[in-house]
Structure 1
Amino acid sequence: MGYRPQHYKIQELVNPKLLSEFGEAKCWEMLDADLLYMADAIRDKYGAIGVNYGGLVDCGLRDWRNPTTGSSASAHCHGKALDLHILNIPQTVGAYDKVREELLDNAMFLRLCFETGVNWLHIDINNREYRTFSA
């Protein structure tokens, strides 16, 4: 069995259609262990976080067959990205810019890449030259 995060349930991390189709065990296998570990560490640092919540369903593992949820080459479609919504900070680009800066300065999060210009914390572990990219 691979890494299971302390703070997140599979329902929070996977599109419900995928979870229904493939089941919990297979969906856990589709999620990158390092990404889950770092999502736990971010939760430890910032407190309550929502991923798929409040009607959101594509902030974790997305259905790669659905053309309306972005490119099938997206890190989300490969279990390598999460959109985290830190519940105790303002949901503004500025607030998340500050969080991204803090995480970029922390060696623990060196593998993470961050999307800028959005009012949530997109994290992924794609193999890219630059750790930040624009929405």
Structure 2
Amino acid sequence: MPHNVSHSIQVDLDRKLVDLRIGGLISPEDAAWIGEELRAAIRALGPDVGKHVTLYDGSGVPVVPQETVELIKNTLDNPAVRAIWARKVAFVVSTALARMQAQRLREVRADIGIFDDRERAIAWLMEP
């Protein structure tokens, strides 16, 4: 069954901000290939990898299948992914269930910020 997933990745070099906007029902397969694109964008930062911040704007995602949450959690826990971790990570969510799912990711990265809107998330990411 095809999923209606949309996403975009933008890199703001001046602010060292990697911005992933995503919408729709995200299957584990969708999360895997979008994750590969995201990691490629992060690696393109060159010497700024690790000095960057990442915004996951999932305001267009009402809920994520449990299998997708597990895949994202396992990916965040992967040593190869940890090697290119952002200095700070923020998630923007639009529903109470999506917030609970994002909070589960704190099991592998306790400092994740979870917000209801982009502006507050970006302001937090830009703080020293």
Q: Same fold, TM exceeding 0.5?
A: no
* TM-score (norm: length of structure 2): 0.28
* TM-score (norm: length of structure 1): 0.27
**Relative contact order, CA 8 A, sep 6+: which one is greater?**
2
